[in-house]
Amino acid sequence: MARIVVFGPHPDDQEIGMGGTVALLASQDHDVLLCDLTDGCPTPVGDRPTRLREAAAAAAALSTPGRVIPRVLLDLPNRRLEHTLAARHAVAGVIRAHRADVIFAPHPKDAHPDHLAATRIIEDARFDAKLTGVTMPLPSGVGGDGSAPVHPKWLFYYYCSHLRRVPDPTFLIDVTAHHGAKLASLTAYRSQFIDNPKNREVLEWIEAQDRFLGSRIGARYAEGFWTNEPLGLTGLGSVAGLGA
């Protein structure tokens, strides 16, 4: 079992980029935590209580009966997210408290300033979390002791970009069995994708992208990820289309 933190600049970014993978990991009994850096407010449609309810419902949609996915909010400023030492240490506190083996962040190429800042914060927080002699804040809602240093073995990036670019993933994960849960998590954000007319077609774009990525590996749906470090395999048994 791996201990995993999926960070997002705003509620719904994780679901857009890797909701199917989150559901898959939970079904495999990995210990997954969703962490929102901001509450996403102000926003064109919806208010803070609405966004918080929707985020909780989305996490529930990705959970399984045996593995409920918790969600925490760092409450950093939306639309004004900055790469500061305080922000880095807030994220490092989550990494320490969850004893994360793996963390996920938005892809570093983006047009949204909050997304760009979030990724820089998360990258540096991964390093900060391993430093001795430094106390990190213990976030509310995360169990465990945040005092002991830890260094996640892996940092993977998912795609939730505001930049009009074609994803160039390092690897793809087959999420066919969990794509329904992903769609349920996205429609939980009614204020963002249903009540906001200009965003209604976003759900169609997401499904089309996941269908295309799935076609690249012989699956119905897949999600793409990028890594800046070599991905280690213990064999070819886990490669799609090959047996053990």
The predicted-structure confidence for 122-147, as pLDDT tens digits, reads as follows 999 999 999 999 999 987 777 766 77
DSSP annotation of 222: E
pLDDT value, residue 243: 60
Res. 89: pLDDT tops 70: yes
Res. 198: pLDDT tops 90: no
- Split at pLDDT 50, 70, 90, the class of 119 is very high
Superfamily of segment(s) 3-226: LmbE-like (3.40.50.10320)
Res. 173: pLDDT tops 70: yes
Q: Do residues 23 and 190 make contact, with C-beta atoms less than 8 angstroms apart?
A: no
Q: Do residues 58 and 186 make contact, with C-beta atoms less than 8 angstroms apart?
A: yes
Q: Do residues 94 and 127 make contact, with C-beta atoms less than 8 angstroms apart?
A: no
Q: Do residues 158 and 225 make contact, with C-beta atoms less than 8 angstroms apart?
A: yes
CA nearest 87: which of 19, 7, 24? 7
Please give the Cα distance from 163 to 159 (Å, whole number).
10
**Range 99-127 average pLDDT:** 97
Res. 84: pLDDT tops 60: yes
Give how far the C-alpha of residue 49 lies from the chain's centroid of Cα atoms, to the nearest Å. Answer: 21
